[in-house]
Structure 1
Amino acid sequence: MSDLQRLLKESWTLVEEDQDKLAGYFYARIFLGRPEVRDLFPVTMDVQRARLLGAIVSAIQTVDDPERFDEYLRSLGRDHRKFQVVPEQYEVVGAALLEALRTFGRGDWTPEYDQAWRDAYDVIARKMLAGAEADTNPAFVHAEVVSHERRGRDIGIMRVRPLQHLEFRPGQYVSLECPKYQPRVWRTYSIANAPRADGTMDFHIRALGAGWVSGALVRRTLPGDMLRLAAPMGTMAVDRRSQRDIVLIAGGTGLAPIKAIIEELATFNRTRWVHVFYGARDRDDLYDLPDLQRLASVFPWLSLMPVCSHDSGWGGEEGLLSEVVRRYGPWQDHDFYLSGSPAMIRATLRALNELQVPSMRVKYDAFADY
């Protein structure tokens, strides 16, 4: 661990318990200094505060992994183009962040911590700006909903057609805004298909409790409604140079990028076996099982293992995905792609580590709403 990473992590422990207050203070300082910036954000800021903290923690965790750190921040810069951020505003954000950290670090905050965060933020800002400047996609594109299908209790499958070309790779995700129902509130959703000639994109969305955007997208959105899509992000793309067999692990609507990867593999793969573990709480939540079964019947290299964690006697594998993966293998010579809830990702990573799968062969995007 470098001195910079040590100082960042040490100092973060001083403010971690007050992170909600810290985030609120941070935004208050920005809006006091630049009132015109307030219109870029949603009326209710609770979720936005959580995004800030997620971004900070992710940056801290990746600072000693140069490749991952670089790609994460460049992607973050590309994504923030949707807010119409200009370079001068990065200085305002940096000053507000340092003031918030000093305030909640109180008497334990040292000049060394201050300099570490100053240095880290300088790198963060430069890499985000570089990512934004290098992006050839528009900051966001308008897209029309062309079809919408409800599946199960709380899942919707939506197909949209961007009005401008939006280049992406299977496995990536985008930030999405629904101006009709929740203006200025963006949420991240994985693209559930490989690129098509007509440019359409599919999204698998679960309505999460009282979730403003997810609820509107599942229960209220209709064909003809307009959305906005920001620049594609994420690094969970298939390594075409690898000759290793592949394991795809999807929990719930985490199936979306996994399905996109399967579609891409269908265009070129002939020699790599592909094993799909598709998990849900119960059989009703295996919302796309028939189509996966169809794909498995078409492509001889594709095998499918559906799993239910809380549906005894349903007719297939039972247990958590991480537990079921342990029952098969060996897996040391496979490439892994994971998508699902944070808890599912953590449990599966632990299982793969215990099964001695090299971490460099495991890809996942634990994306948060920034």
Structure 2
Amino acid sequence: MAELGRLLKESWSLVDDQQEKMAAYFYARLFTLDPRLRDLFPVQMDVQRARLLGAIVTAVQTLEDPNRFADYLSELGRDHRKFSVVPDHYETVGRSLIEALRTYGADEWTLEYDQAWRDAYDVIARTMIAAATADQGPAYWYANVLSHERRGLDTAVFTCRPVEPLPYRAGQYVSVECGYQPRAWRAYSMANAPRDDLTMEFHVKALGAGWVSGALVRRLRPGDLIRLAAPMGSMVLDRGSPRDIVCVAGGTGLAPLKAIIDDLATTGRTRRVHLFFGARTRDDLYDLPALTELAERHPWLTVVPTVSHDAGYEGETGLVTEALTRYGPWNDHDFYVCGSPAMVAATRRTLTQLQVPAMRVRHDVFGQDY
């Protein structure tokens, strides 16, 4: 397995700087081999290309950790049921992927690399197919939008209720599709622990030309019907740990951390929680009133809002990682981190400098149209 991992990483380095071109080639080849597959994908393909390569890189990175590798691919297999994927599609995808890698690996691509990717993809496909086949739940859930509130120009908080129960754990996320962008699915975290009334809260920020996030912020209305895919993600509460908790949120990365806090509140907590909520300006602290109310109800919760680009702000200023270092010590806490890729990476570096063991840090990343 170690040798396979070495070959995959070594060969990926040949194409890493050509991901966009390789993805375009992959999809062109895929739709040539089976034109019917085009109907499974959204009209706008730019984000979809990045998601494909992201999934490949993640799978390769987890290969040396068998449990994580199997868990990730099983979730991916169940999630792909929403696309009406059948086992025969995996063969076509595999052929297209190998051809794309071979084409952009060019003269440096070897038969050894080719076989390594064939072997790896065979394991990936079999694991995903097995998980999808064994899943007894629906491929997706319909949900009614109950409320929708704009929080500034580019952020919204909405609640919905699935028509049938959708089981998940606080800290997980689901893919969402709305009628304003058919067949375009994007992942968003639930901002609450599971409730008896089945309602789910989502926080969405419209990022640039994000097709789905823009529709969910600017066009979604109460009464609309959306679709939710199977829950994914492993950033869930470690119930066996006795340690106090630190949550570090950037922007709408707050959502899963708020769900974890909600989980602690509803199941009987015995641990103190510090929540560091970072944003650019005070106006970007879109959920601060709700967090303040939450802290007033629960004395074990401390909320530390932080802004990085607001000179007149009277609270904590600077990057959220800088605010984090002004508190502590943190070497005997569990950490949950969610935000943009840059924010998560910076937080992990800071925690390393603060000598927090990596095994105590769970994180999730947002930033592709979330």
Q: Same fold (TM over 0.5)?
A: yes
Are the equivalent residues in 1 in contact too, given 2:250–2:340 (CA < 8 A)? Answer: yes
Note if 1:5 corresponds to 2:11. Answer: no
Equivalent runs, 1:135-146 vs 2, <5 Å = 135-146=135-146
Q: Secondary structure at the match of 2:64?
A: coil
Matched residue type, 2:280? R
What is the CA-CA distance between 1:367 and the residue it aligns to? Answer: 6.0
Aligned to 2:260: 261
Equivalent runs, 1:315-354 vs 2, <5 Å = 315-354=314-353
Are the equivalent residues in 2 in contact too, given 1:75–1:131 (CA < 8 A)? Answer: yes
Note if 1:216 corresponds to 2:212. Answer: no
Are the equivalent residues in 2 in contact too, given 1:159–1:201 (CA < 8 A)? Answer: yes
Aligned to 1:68: 68
What is the CA-CA distance between 1:134 and the residue it aligns to? Answer: 3.1
Are the equivalent residues in 2 in contact too, given 1:170–1:193 (CA < 8 A)? Answer: yes
Aligned to 1:24: 24
Equivalent runs, 1:118-267 vs 2, <5 Å = 118-179=118-179, 181-267=180-266
Whole-angstrom CA distance in 1 between matches of 2:168 and 2:275: 23
What is the CA-CA distance between 1:297 and the residue it aligns to? Answer: 1.1
Equivalent runs, 1:46-65 vs 2, <5 Å = 46-65=46-65
Spell out, residue by residue over 1:122-151, the C-alpha distance to the aligned partner (whole angstroms, 9 max, x if none): 111122123222333211111111111111
Equivalent runs, 1:84-95 vs 2, <5 Å = 84-95=84-95
Q: Secondary structure at the match of 2:238?
A: coil
Whole-angstrom CA distance in 2 between matches of 1:151 and 1:137: 34
What number of residue pairs does the alignment pair up? 369
Q: Secondary structure at the match of 1:166?
A: coil
Whole-angstrom CA distance in 1 between matches of 2:242 and 2:91: 46
Matched residue type, 1:362? V
Are the equivalent residues in 1 in contact too, given 2:338–2:366 (CA < 8 A)? Answer: no
What is the CA-CA distance between 1:241 and the residue it aligns to? Answer: 1.0
Aligned to 2:39: 39
Aligned to 1:77: 77
Going from structure 1 to structure 2, the CA distance change for 1:142 and 1:268 (only over 3 Å counts) comes to closer
Whole-angstrom CA distance in 2 between matches of 1:270 and 1:41: 43
Aligned to 1:271: 270
Are the equivalent residues in 2 in contact too, given 1:186–1:369 (CA < 8 A)? Answer: no
Whole-angstrom CA distance in 2 between matches of 1:2 and 1:317: 46
Q: Secondary structure at the match of 2:15?
A: helix
Whole-angstrom CA distance in 2 between matches of 1:221 and 1:21: 34
Are the equivalent residues in 1 in contact too, given 2:245–2:272 (CA < 8 A)? Answer: yes
Whole-angstrom CA distance in 1 between matches of 2:131 and 2:318: 41
Whole-angstrom CA distance in 2 between matches of 1:73 and 1:296: 38
Spell out, residue by residue over 1:127-184, the C-alpha distance to the aligned partner (whole angstroms, 9 max, x if none): 21232223332111111111111112211111111111111111010100112x1111
Matched residue type, 2:9? K
Please list every run of 5 or more consecutive structure 2 residues that lacks an aligned counterpart in the other structure: none
Whole-angstrom CA distance in 1 between matches of 2:322 and 2:135: 41
Identity rate of aligned residues, in percent?
65
What is the CA-CA distance between 1:45 and the residue it aligns to? Answer: 1.4
Whole-angstrom CA distance in 2 between matches of 1:299 and 1:364: 24
Q: Which moved more, 1:247-256 or 1:23-32?
A: 23-32
Matched residue type, 1:256? A
Aligned to 2:355: 356
Whole-angstrom CA distance in 2 between matches of 1:269 and 1:321: 28
Going from structure 1 to structure 2, the CA distance change for 1:159 and 1:338 (only over 3 Å counts) comes to same
Are the equivalent residues in 2 in contact too, given 1:243–1:272 (CA < 8 A)? Answer: yes
Going from structure 1 to structure 2, the CA distance change for 1:367 and 1:214 (only over 3 Å counts) comes to closer
Q: What is the root-mean-square deviation of aligned Cα atoms in Å? A: 1.5
Are the equivalent residues in 1 in contact too, given 2:339–2:366 (CA < 8 A)? Answer: no
Spell out, residue by residue over 1:95-129, the C-alpha distance to the aligned partner (whole angstroms, 9 max, x if none): 11111111111111111111111111111112212
Whole-angstrom CA distance in 1 between matches of 2:70 and 2:165: 26
What is the CA-CA distance between 1:337 and the residue it aligns to? Answer: 0.5
Spell out, residue by residue over 1:202-258, the C-alpha distance to the aligned partner (whole angstroms, 9 max, x if none): 110111122211111111111111111110111111011110100011111111111
Whole-angstrom CA distance in 1 between matches of 2:37 and 2:328: 53
TM-score by length of 2: 0.96
What is the CA-CA distance between 1:365 and the residue it aligns to? Answer: 2.2
Matched residue type, 1:281? R
What is the CA-CA distance between 1:330 and the residue it aligns to? Answer: 1.4
Whole-angstrom CA distance in 1 between matches of 2:174 and 2:304: 28
What is the CA-CA distance between 1:369 and the residue it aligns to? Answer: 6.4
Equivalent runs, 1:89-104 vs 2, <5 Å = 89-104=89-104
